[in-house]
Amino acid sequence: QTDLCVKAASYGLPATRVDGMDVLAVREATQGAAEFVRDGGGPMFLEFKTYRFRAHSMYDPELYRDRSEVEEWKRRDPLLVLAEQADPSFGEAELAELEAAAAAEIDDAVAFARKMGWEPA
């Protein structure tokens, strides 16, 4: 069985498939599942269907899919779509700027952590 929700259901778990490329759908499903579990409903299985934009590794020539397919899916980039929903003037340049700012913040946090050293044993 390759359908993960069917497989989860075979173990008696309620299972839901979600468009993982839709940030708001992911949020709604996750909140619903958390409420279900917290209210005593037991465990729940969520499957988030997504698309991988990049190759499996830097050595992967990606001969198994057409570049146009990847480009078509990139137009559904979850962050870009969400940003466009919030502000229609938001585009790829703004997304690149936001990603660069996030990367810089991560680099700063890593540098700070490394500077602090290891905790004593």
Asked about 56 being catalytic, the answer comes back as yes
Asked about 67 being catalytic, the answer comes back as no
Asked about 64 being catalytic, the answer comes back as yes
Q: Per the structure block, which two tokens stand in for 63?
A: 């001969």
Q: Which of 52, 54, 67, 114 is catalytic?
A: 52
Q: Which of 38, 64, 67, 114 is catalytic?
A: 64
Evaluated on CA atoms 17, 20, 21, 25, the torsion sign reads positive
Residues facing residue 18 across a β-bridge: 48
Cα separation, 111 vs 81, in Å, equals 31
Q: Which of 54, 56, 67, 75 is catalytic?
A: 56
Residues taking part in catalysis: 52, 56, 64
